[in-house]
Structure 1
């Protein structure tokens, strides 16, 4: 049976060139970047080269990048690290939104149990945060604002430059989760009002288990990992040299192919919507999110009258990989907290499926897959 991978927002297949770079390091002599001998110096050189590559792609200084184990750790480090630093200045208020990734929401919940106050801003019907709502929520005790750029479930983009301007004007630190948008959007971090930004390699055809956190020079920050002086004493632990090198290679490929990839992903997303609607004229298919201002590779669709769980199980049996939302929670088969935050009607909430595209997907493949979805839809509606 042919398979169709339409879940790139959860994780992406590793690019062959990335695997090649990593394999060469893993089959090499090894070496701890903190060691003083030749093997250690070579490992440290690999890490430094990778940091330079990624920093150049992001428009920041190499010293402003901290390597982590992925997006979740980057989010945790930024939020907890900023919170602990701001508490020293008598501030204990954090602002976030109800549509954030759980790596942010659960971290904020943890901090609320540690004595911090958290304001959860609403989002509109497309999943977007209003800069005016952010400004209205700021108090003299506010020390941190954490808002994602591209939503991982519906693709909607938040106005981070406008929100960052509000934060800067009030002297509040600003963290952005850019895990889903990195690789598709061009960042010049020294030109935008952001203090922290989180990234993950496995969303851009790099390895799992490696990510990065941008910390603007001079930003108050308390490390959450202790034990060594790695990463300029901001993240203790022996560096994942092969993973870091693979991350840098994936970034290099992204930079050189970003424009082409954006066009292809946008084409695939629009083709998928059009083909499904044409194939199933008797099914009401609604796009959830902001079609005009969203990530090009993600589309969240409600198949009105068809239960999400039933659709996903049927798609899986037919060889089509899709999801109901974040891979970190989809195993629980819970209804999307993002769609609930958008205050969608129950019929849309209970029939939503996320499709996301990337390396290896083609228009021809979408044509075949749309016919399969049509068959599945007809069978489900017949048995209702």
Structure 2
């Protein structure tokens, strides 16, 4: 049984799970002993290091089980951004290719896009940014045409954080690896929400993020296929198989491991179907009350079960949410010095500025209920009627 979450009592309806998830109380319970009682260094040879070392090994096994990997293929990092940096910079800097070539897509997370730009600026790496179609998807043929003899890495996210669009990772990875390059997948949004397997997908590198998975912020992991060569970002004592120096944060690793195990259980119990039902109920309530005015952004099928990105004609997303204080969600725009600009993800999909500025990202999760959906729909409809 899922325990109640103290942080959600009496507050606004939380529909921003793609931004961050509440930390599961069971995760907190698992990590607390490693903030106090089990204080030892897992690298110590004496008895104080035994329990932290066993806990670290167990956490590695739990994360590996969620994604179908082997425990020794899991590298703990301080965040998803660090894991992405390790994958991209590590692959490029370990490459023997003269002026390596990297391929990504225009709607990737900034952790990937900004790393690519740094590689261009600092290391002379050539980067190709693939376009996406109206659903936000990369066409396999477009990827195949972009590969060159100097391509060392392709990085495409599993699921978009704004629209939930699911890429054809197994097909993209197959094309990439047949060409002899490594394939990295940022699965921050997908892990725990849909079944995934690194062997079935054929990826070489895959990012998992704790705070998208009901673990705390400040912990992530990178799956590194056995035999995949990476240059470390951090040098020192050789922890994490030599790929991430620094004494391990055992408590946060335990938290991520516990969160991964809980997610594995929920996937087996059909939790994604329950959440998808709530998401679709919210969509119907809005569409039925505002016929012809509610537009889905992204694919109808082939998206995360928890994600609904919609625009309502005649409204601005940030104004809708400001007029609905009982709801915590995100918009499809960014605010810079008081001016709102459309989401680059939505504009890359071909949406015009008005529709992109009207977008709402409503993302559900473990504690979402039918009552939440009713409250959210009522609040949004009331706010839309006032605009």
Equivalent residue number for residue 338 of structure 1: 345
Give the deviation of 1:126 after TM superposition.
0.7
SS in 2 for 1:175: strand
Pair 1:256 & 2:265 matched: yes
Q: CA deviation at 1:136?
A: 0.2
CA contact (8 A) 1:324 1:330 kept: no
How far apart are residue 300 of structure 1 and its match? Answer: 0.6
Counterpart secondary structure, 1:124: coil
Partner of residue 221, structure 1: 230
Secondary structure in structure 1 of the residue aligned to 2:21: coil
- Match among 113, 116, 127 for residue 108 of structure 1: 116
1:159-178 pair list within 5 angstroms: 159-178=168-187
2:380 to 353, 368, 373: 373
Specify the alignment match of 1:211 in structure 2: 220
- More displaced, 220-229 or 34-43? 34-43
Question: Within 5 Å, which residues of 2 pair with 1:37-186?
Answer: 37-86=46-95, 88-114=96-122, 115-186=124-195
Contact 1:68–1:213 (CA<8 Å) still a contact in 2? yes
State the superposition RMSD in angstroms.
1.6
Q: Residue 330 of structure 2: SS of its match in structure 1?
A: coil
- Mapped partners of 1:105, 1:2: distance in 2: 35
SS at 2:40's partner residue?
Answer: coil
SS at match of 2:310: strand
Task: Report the alpha carbon displacement of residue 12 of structure 1 after superposing the two structures with TM.
Answer: 0.5
Deviation at 1:331, TM superposition (A): 7.8
Please say if 1:24 is aligned against 2:33: yes
Partner Cα distance (1:231, 1:156) in 2: 32
- 1:132, distance to aligned residue in structure 2 (A): 0.6
The CA deviation at 1:21 is 0.6
Match of residue 281, structure 2, among 271, 292, 303:
271
1:313-338 superposed Cα distances (whole Å, 9 cap, x missing partner): 223xx221111259xx7787542110
Measure, in 1, the Cα distance between the counterparts of 2:248 and 2:344. Answer: 34
SS of corresponding position for 1:18:
helix
- Report the 3-state secondary structure (helix = DSSP H, G, I; strand = E; otherwise coil) of the residue aligned with 2:331: coil
Alignment match, 1:247: 256
Gaps of 5+ in 2: 1-9
- State how far apart, in whole Å, the 1-side matches of 2:21 and 2:341 are: 23
CA distance in 2, matches of 1:261, 1:69: 28
TM-score (norm 2): 0.93
Structure 1 length normalisation: TM-score?
0.94
Residues of 2 paired with 1:277 and 1:287: CA distance? 10
Whole-angstrom distance in 1 between the partners of 2:245 and 2:11? 44
Structure 1 unaligned blocks of 5 or more? none
Tell whether the 8 Å contact from 2:326 to 2:379 is kept in structure 1 after alignment: no
Contact 1:324 1:335 in 2 (8 A): no
**CA distance, structure 2, for counterparts of residue 192 and residue 12 of structure 1:** 26
Q: Alpha carbons of 1:288 and 1:45: their partners in 2 closer, same or farther (altered >3 Å)? A: same
In 1, the alpha carbon distance for the partners of 2:227 and 2:336 equals 40
Name the counterpart of 2:4.
none
Task: Supply the distance in 1 between the matched residues of 2:33 and 2:205 (Cα, whole angstroms).
Answer: 32
State how far apart, in whole Å, the 1-side matches of 2:222 and 2:56 are.
15
Distance 1:249-1:330 versus aligned 2 partners, 3 A rule: farther
CA offsets 1:297-352 (integer angstroms, 9 cap, x no match): 0111111211122123223xx221111259xx778754211001111122211111
